[in-house]
Amino acid sequence: MSETPPHPDGAAEPPPYASIVLPCYNEQDHVVTEVERICAAMDASGIAYELLAIDDASTDATLDRLRAAEPRFPHLRVIAFGHNGGSGTVRRIGTQRARGQIVVWTDADMTYPNERIPELVAMLRDDPGLDQVVGARRQEAGTHKILRVPTKWLIRKLAERLTNTRIPDLNSGLRAFRREVSLPYLRLLPPGFSCVTTITLAFLSNQHPVRYVPIDYSRRAGSSKFHFVRDAYRYILQVLRMVMYFNPLKVLMPLALWLLGIGAAKFVFDMVRTPLYIPNNTIMLLTTGLIVASMALLADLIVRSRNGA
């Protein structure tokens, strides 16, 4: 974690209440506008804050424009990565370096209503029992919309079933959460876009209260870094991985019970049709069901005996 910067009069500057982590990758045409919008909203709110603008090894002039703008914004801290690590890496390191009690994640592509960040922070400040506030998008405005909407709906429904929780928006990039609560889960964040899905599932799987606030979602400025097939696959894999990590019975036991049920029904059918003869496929169904059930119980035992996240 970074040290507290010195105050102009020589005393240590008090830490901010909120830390806003802003990943920046090839956003030269609008990154300063986004910084201006965030700082204007936070300054008007009166909430003490810092804005961590992290350049993820951009290949355009994003870093130069952030450096040029830094003197104009006293709460802006520009951090430059030597190589591209992905949005998940940026958010993880930004959260680790944050000095505020509340951490806000958002994007620099003009899609999210960042002027509402003070509203999300105020919800956490005013409700000690709340651990995360997520901006739930009312509409989808990204690329490949025809494919993205049904795919994201299916992934979200899978996550809802596995977590027994209604999730209006599984992978929104605008959220605020308590830094202390998030620290045990940061090591689980993948480097790519599914990091937001991971932090959502980590909180829900461990009974941390999450509130969803409807927000508008605009068409992004610049070109999208989202690759439909690759990132959709990663989303599905990450949902299964996170639920397996926190509650493996949810994934494995239904499969085991289905195999055992089908195997038992087939066993009865075989005994009626050909008494005293058990086909190999019946034995395989029952054996596989028992193996999967044993794996589920063993995995659950490991989860329950694990300390921390």
Same structural domain for residues 126 and 68?
A: yes
Report how far residue 260's alpha carbon sits from residue 267's, in angstroms, rounded to the nearest whole number.
Answer: 10
Same structural domain for residues 262 and 118?
A: no
Tell me, what DSSP letter sits at residue 83? S
Do residues 34 and 117 make contact, with C-beta atoms less than 8 angstroms apart? no
Positive or negative: CA dihedral 134, 84, 188, 241: positive
* pLDDT of 114 above 90: yes
The CATH number of residue 148's host domain is 3.90.550.10
Do residues 135 and 213 make contact, with C-beta atoms less than 8 angstroms apart? yes
Same structural domain for residues 42 and 93?
A: yes
Angle formed by the axes of helices 195-205 and 87-97, nearest 10°: 60
Report how far residue 81's alpha carbon sits from residue 56's, in angstroms, rounded to the nearest whole number.
Answer: 5
Same structural domain for residues 146 and 177?
A: yes
Report how far residue 133's alpha carbon sits from residue 136's, in angstroms, rounded to the nearest whole number.
Answer: 9
User: Does a structural domain hold residue 139?
Assistant: yes
Predicted local confidence at residue 3, as pLDDT: 44
pLDDT band at 47 (very low <50, low <70, confident <90, very high): very high
User: Does a structural domain hold residue 1?
Assistant: no
Same structural domain for residues 188 and 256?
A: no
Same structural domain for residues 115 and 56?
A: yes
Same structural domain for residues 43 and 105?
A: yes
Predicted local confidence at residue 192, as pLDDT: 74
The residues, ordered by sequence, that sit 6+ positions from 11 with a Cβ below 8 Å of its Cβ are none
The residues, ordered by sequence, that sit 6+ positions from 98 with a Cβ below 8 Å of its Cβ are 1, 19, 21, 50, 52, 179
User: Does a structural domain hold residue 12?
Assistant: no
Predicted local confidence at residue 233, as pLDDT: 75
9-25 tens-digit pLDDT = 555 578 899 999 999 99
Q: Which region among 71-85, 229-243, 291-305 has the lowest average model confidence (pLDDT)?
A: 229-243
Question: Residue with structure tokens 């329950």?
Answer: 304
Do residues 290 and 260 make contact, with C-beta atoms less than 8 angstroms apart? yes
Same structural domain for residues 240 and 284?
A: no
User: Does a structural domain hold residue 257?
Assistant: yes
Predicted local confidence at residue 219, as pLDDT: 80
pLDDT band at 4 (very low <50, low <70, confident <90, very high): very low
Question: How many structural domains is the chain composed of?
Answer: 2
**In what side-by-side order are the strands of the sheet with 18-24?**
76-80, 49-55, 18-24, 102-105, 175-178, 132-137, 210-215
The residues, ordered by sequence, that sit 6+ positions from 273 with a Cβ below 8 Å of its Cβ are none
Among 223, 246, 269, which residue terminates a domain? 246
Same structural domain for residues 41 and 116?
A: yes
Predicted local confidence at residue 1, as pLDDT: 40
Among 211, 227, 246, which residue terminates a domain? 246
Q: Which region among 20-34, 48-62, 164-178, 209-223 has the lowest average model confidence (pLDDT)?
A: 209-223
Tell me, what DSSP letter sits at residue 82? S
User: Does a structural domain hold residue 256?
Assistant: yes
Q: Which region among 101-110, 179-188, 193-202 has the lowest average model confidence (pLDDT)?
A: 193-202
User: Does a structural domain hold residue 11?
Assistant: no
Domain of residue 300 covers 249-305
Report how far residue 194's alpha carbon sits from residue 207's, in angstroms, rounded to the nearest whole number.
Answer: 20
Same structural domain for residues 255 and 221?
A: no
261-293 tens-digit pLDDT = 999 999 999 999 988 888 999 999 999 999 999
How far from each other are the two terminal CA atoms of the chain, in whole angstroms? Answer: 20
Which whole number is the average pLDDT over 137-162?
A: 73
Same structural domain for residues 100 and 241?
A: yes
Same structural domain for residues 188 and 275?
A: no
Report the percent of the chain where pLDDT is more than 90: 63
C-alpha separations of 237 from 76, 131, 141, 232, 244 in Å:
36, 25, 24, 9, 10
Locate 49 and state its tokens: 């804050």
User: Does a structural domain hold residue 7?
Assistant: no
C-alpha separations of 228 from 91, 190, 206, 233 in Å:
21, 17, 29, 8
Among 246, 262, 294, which residue terminates a domain? 246
Q: pTM of the full predicted structure?
A: 0.80
User: Does a structural domain hold residue 160?
Assistant: yes
Tell me, what DSSP letter sits at residue 101? S
C-alpha separations of 261 from 257, 266, 286, 291 in Å:
6, 9, 8, 14
Instruction: Please provide the average confidence, as pLDDT, over all residues in the chain.
Output: 87
C-alpha separations of 250 from 170, 208, 308 in Å:
18, 18, 20
* pLDDT of 222 above 70: no
Report how far residue 29's alpha carbon sits from residue 52's, in angstroms, rounded to the nearest whole number.
Answer: 19
